[in-house]
Amino acid sequence: MRIVVLAGGIGGARFLRGLKQAVGPEADITVIGNTGDDIHLFGLKVCPDLDTVMYTLGGGIHEEQGWGRSDESFAVKEELKAYGVGPEWFGLGDRDFATHIVRTQMLGAGYPLSAVTEALCDRWQPGVRLLPMSDDRVETHVLINQDGEKKAVHFQEFWVKLHATVPAEAIIPVGAESAAPAPGVLEAIAAADVIILPPSNPVVSVGTILAVPGIRAAVAKAAAPVVGLSPIIGGAPVRGMADKVLAAVGVETSAAGVALHYGGRAAGPDGTAGTGLLDGWLVDTSDAAAVAGVESAGIVCRAVPLWMTDVDTSAEMARAALALAEEVRRA
Ligand code: GDP
Ligand code: CA
């Protein structure tokens, strides 16, 4: 079975670890990773979401933190600080630095990001094919209103430095409109048996991937069923600050709000044709009251436990998503 997953960082990676356990080694999983979070620091190209997926699936992740390397040390960061060289707010550890050095060196030698990612994965053996959404530079910027002064900052500055405490008025995937999907992305979507939107951030992870011209249309017209899992439980993000970016794009922070934001592919019960992406949607059992509203938009909806407390619970979520995909598969 060919499975395609559009993934951000922590939520996507943890779901993928469960999916791998659920389907076993014979399934063919392609991950289309968000690169809108990418940032240049100290002359190095850092790809936080690709690395979170690679480290999580390859056994190198800092388990409690959910990002960065396990057994990490920070000697380089301390030395940079001694030189007065920042930023200090972005935590890059010594082991992690090596990844960014290899990546930057290969990019400098002319390899596209997709080839670099494949080379990095040679070491980590994540057990999935990890493709960046695009080889072209796309950078998510956030228009903030800081004490009446409007300015655009890099997503990482908004998220990591400001902890999303400043009101966001718009989210702009700079460069997306002229970016092309990376080699293999559209082909994987077209050839998929199942397409999954994991519990990743719908705006700055999945939304950014969908902003690359051609990707949204490919998902919308794919032969495979498209199912998603809510990253919102009980009106709040499970971890992180997704509510801040959902508000910036005018979407209610709820399991149903995110489903309606993605939209339904099928015609609704009222006969209207869907213009969205989803055939099926999973909400947490505590959000069972949201099921009817989602279904009235033509999206088949089920309530199951959606807390990824460990690999087994994530695998159970993956099985529920695959079962829902079979249920909504078109004849
Ligand atoms: P990021 O790039 O590291 O922010 O990671 P993602 O975009 O892949 O995922 C972030 C989203 O994952 C957040 O909106 C969280 O609400 C969601 N999330 C994290 N852990 C869980 C979980 O255990 N269950 C569910 N349903 N969502 C989760
Ligand atoms: Ca991210």
| Rounded distance from Cα 79 to ligand 1 centre (Å) | 33
* One domain, residues 73 and 202: no
For residues 274 and 285, the answer to whether their CB atoms sit within 8 Å is: no
* One domain, residues 155 and 272: no
User: Looking at residue 300, which CATH number applies to its domain?
Assistant: 3.40.50.10680
Measured at the CA of 30, the angle between CA 24 and CA 34, to 5 degrees, comes to: 130
Asked whether residue 257 is assigned to any structural domain, the reply reads yes
Residues spanned by the domain of 120 = 38-132
User: Looking at residue 95, which CATH number applies to its domain?
Assistant: 1.10.8.240
Asked whether residue 22 is assigned to any structural domain, the reply reads no
| Rounded distance from Cα 206 to ligand 1 centre (Å) | 11
Ligand 1 binding site (Cβ under 6 Å of any ligand atom)? 7-12, 49, 52, 199-201, 205, 230-231, 233, 237-240, 242, 306-308
* pLDDT tier for residue 268 given thresholds of 50, 70 and 90: low
Asked whether residue 9 is assigned to any structural domain, the reply reads no
* One domain, residues 69 and 167: no
Q: Hey, which of 201, 251, 262, 304 would you mutate to test ligand 1's pocket, going by the most ligand atoms within 8 Å of its Cβ?
A: 201
* One domain, residues 83 and 190: no
Residue 281 β-bridge partners:
228, 301
Rg of the chain over Cα atoms, rounded to whole angstroms, equals 19
Asked whether residue 158 is assigned to any structural domain, the reply reads yes
From the CA of 156, the nearest ligand is 2
Q: How far is Cα 286 from Cα 315, in angstroms, rounded to an integer?
A: 19
In this predicted structure, the answer to whether residue 277 has a pLDDT above a threshold of 80 is: yes
Asked whether residue 1 is assigned to any structural domain, the reply reads no
Q: What is the pLDDT of residues 16-73, one digit of tens each?
A: 999 999 999 989 999 999 999 999 999 999 999 999 999 999 999 999 999 999 999 9
* One domain, residues 190 and 259: yes
The count of domains in the chain is: 3
Q: What is the pLDDT of residues 139-191, one digit of tens each?
A: 999 999 988 899 999 999 999 999 999 999 999 999 999 999 999 999 999 99
Peptide bond into 87 cis (omega under 30): yes
* One domain, residues 143 and 229: no
* One domain, residues 321 and 254: yes
* One domain, residues 113 and 214: no
Q: Which residues contact 127 (CB under 8 A, 6 or more apart)?
A: 20, 25, 29, 57
Asked whether residue 300 is assigned to any structural domain, the reply reads yes
* One domain, residues 303 and 246: yes
* One domain, residues 267 and 248: yes
Asked whether residue 32 is assigned to any structural domain, the reply reads no
Asked whether residue 200 is assigned to any structural domain, the reply reads yes
pLDDT in the model for residue 269: 59
